[in-house]
Amino acid sequence: MNTYRTGYKTELKPNNKQNTLLLKHAGIARYAYNWALERTSKREIKPNAMDIHKYWTKWKKENINWWSEVSKCAPQVAFQDLENAYKHFFRKVKLSKKGKIRGKLGYPKFKSKKGSDAHFSLTGCIHIEYNRVKLPRIGWIKLKEKDYLPIGKPSQVFITQKAGRWFVSVQKELPIKKVKKEYYSSVGVDLGVKKLATCSDEKVFENNKFLKKALKKLKRIQRKHSRRTKGGKNREKMREILAKQHFKITNQRKNSLHEITSYLTRTKSRVVIEDLNVSGMLKNRKLARNISDCGFYEFRRQLEYKGLRYGCAIVIADRWFPSSKICSHCGWYNKDLKLEDRTFRCKKCGLKIDRDLNAAINLNNYNGTVSSTESSEKISSEKAFGERSAGYSNRNNETALNELGIKQKTNYKFFISFKGRAKANYPEGEIENA
């Protein structure tokens, strides 16, 4: 049986003693990470979690005495983190040598008490009951939310601290449900900055106004923070408030995305989204914050795991697919379309349509093969419509649908053929010259 992994995360309600113990665990994880980074940087040890752990076990007995208070798992996971950080760095170095990327390579950094969120992982004797969780060396800790975590004995839990609050997360393997939807329906979704998401069936998800309010507040706090003297107590206090506000915003954003992704994966059989070249877009500083606010990565991540859960194929269009530049009616390619043009005007068939809706319809029509010749005259069709394959969601439509056990009554190719479908799906846009 095919399974997928899903994560559950919820807040802990530790007492003072437990809070201290949690902090100690996080402290040793950070200490061990920095300890290992120092030695691997000097090439005393290979950047490999196993090697580091061997070295650490010997070293700690000779050099420190407080290691016995905490579980040995905390440093172990920190070493794994470090290994991953190195792998990431080496991958970037390789790409950079080939000239594929520019910018910082991201050599692993020392973790400061202030900078990164404290986190560690525990294995061993773990118990989850409906309102509490038992952790090795720490004991039973109450949970803020009851009856959410899967009850049982997981082999591993992750503990994180965010803005002064502690969270526990566990993973669980679940079988992939072969959800049979009543009818086949496909939708293209264009992610935007002003509107969070526009669907090809004309449904629009606006950006949450709570988020806008929270962002305003964030600005105020940021200003206050920067006015405080560096290293002072007041600055430290402001930093904590700032972290709390950031956390709040992240949560609000996640919530609104959850609503959208649940809706899409539950009601649709196929969702097509863009493969955003985020690193390219982030060069535009003004756009940068907005983009990260909308949480494109988070959106895609949620779609991918919920797609598996609810039997919805997620298709990521190639990053060269010019979804906003093609006319969704006749396939004319508008090479002069600018970022500020909110309306798409087709010079060939006269279609006048909202830019985002046009893009969403094109995404819905996205297919490995395209019958429109007009658009391929201007752009290399291979680049524009080629399907990349990496990971589950990028596999081609048919494979993805077959794996989920979705059978289509209609001939698939016909169903999403570029021209035919576009007409059937024709939105309310006006036609000026036709």
Residue 346 makes contact with Zn ion by CB under 5 A = yes
Q: Segment near Zn ion (CB under 5 A), from 192-200, 223-231, 306-314, 345-353?
A: 345-353
Considering the complex, state which of residue 346 and residue 401 has its C-beta at the smaller distance from Zn ion.
Answer: 346
Considering the complex, state which of residue 197 and residue 330 has its C-beta at the smaller distance from Zn ion.
Answer: 330
- Contact between residue 221 and residue 213 where contact means Cβ atoms under 8 Å apart: no
Closest distance to Zn ion from the beta carbon of 340 (Å): 21
Give the C-alpha separation, 31 to 59, whole Å. Answer: 13
Residues 149-188 that bind Zn ion (CB under 5 A): none
Give the C-alpha separation, 362 to 326, whole Å. Answer: 7
Strand-by-strand arrangement of the 313-317 sheet = 204-206, 195-199, 186-191, 270-274, 313-317
Q: Segment near Zn ion (CB under 5 A), from 13-21, 156-164, 339-347, 401-409?
A: 339-347
Considering the complex, state which of residue 381 and residue 396 has its C-beta at the smaller distance from Zn ion.
Answer: 381
Considering the complex, state which of residue 374 and residue 387 has its C-beta at the smaller distance from Zn ion.
Answer: 374
Q: Segment near Zn ion (CB under 5 A), from 25-33, 297-305, 342-350, 422-430?
A: 342-350
DSSP state string for 244-275: HHHHHHHHHHHHHHHHHHHHHHHH-SEEEEE-
Residue 337 makes contact with Zn ion by CB under 5 A = no
Considering the complex, state which of residue 205 and residue 332 has its C-beta at the smaller distance from Zn ion.
Answer: 332
Give the C-alpha separation, 150 to 142, whole Å. Answer: 15
Closest distance to Zn ion from the beta carbon of 187 (Å): 21
Considering the complex, state which of residue 315 and residue 327 has its C-beta at the smaller distance from Zn ion.
Answer: 327
Q: Strands of 75-185 (E only): list them.
A: 119-123, 127-128, 132-135, 139-143, 156-162, 165-175
Element (DSSP H or E) covering residue 353: strand 351-354
**Residue in 320, 334, 206, 188 with CA at minimum distance from that of residue 259:** 206
What one-letter code names the amino acid at 239?
Answer: R
- Contact between residue 397 and residue 412 where contact means Cβ atoms under 8 Å apart: yes
> Please, which residues have CB within 8 angstroms of residue 280's CB and are 6 or more apart in sequence?
none
Considering the complex, state which of residue 278 and residue 431 has its C-beta at the smaller distance from Zn ion.
Answer: 431
Considering the complex, state which of residue 191 and residue 327 has its C-beta at the smaller distance from Zn ion.
Answer: 327
Q: What angle do CA 288, 292, 295 make, to 5 degrees?
A: 150
- Contact between residue 166 and residue 22 where contact means Cβ atoms under 8 Å apart: yes
Closest distance to Zn ion from the beta carbon of 329 (Å): 4
Closest distance to Zn ion from the beta carbon of 91 (Å): 42
Strand-by-strand arrangement of the 343-345 sheet = 343-345, 351-354, 430-431
Give the C-alpha separation, 361 to 350, whole Å. Answer: 17
What are the counts of helices (DSSP H) followed by strands (DSSP E) for the chain? 14, 15
String of contacts with Zn ion for each residue 269-308, x by CB under 5 A = ----------------------------------------
- By CB under 5 A, the count of residues binding Zn ion is 8
Residues 305-334 that bind Zn ion (CB under 5 A): 327, 329-330, 332
Q: Segment near Zn ion (CB under 5 A), from 243-251, 269-277, 338-346, 363-371?
A: 338-346
Closest distance to Zn ion from the beta carbon of 434 (Å): 9
Structure tokens at 109: 């950094």
Give the C-alpha separation, 79 to 36, whole Å. Answer: 7
Residues 33-72 that bind Zn ion (CB under 5 A): none
Closest distance to Zn ion from the beta carbon of 360 (Å): 16
Active site residues: 190, 274, 356
Q: Segment near Zn ion (CB under 5 A), from 30-38, 106-114, 241-249, 341-349?
A: 341-349
String of contacts with Zn ion for each residue 348-387, x by CB under 5 A = xx-x------------------------------------
Give the C-alpha separation, 329 to 11, whole Å. Answer: 50
Q: Segment near Zn ion (CB under 5 A), from 27-35, 70-78, 287-295, 347-355?
A: 347-355
Q: Provide the binding-site residues for Zn ion, judged by CB under 5 A.
A: 327, 329-330, 332, 346, 348-349, 351
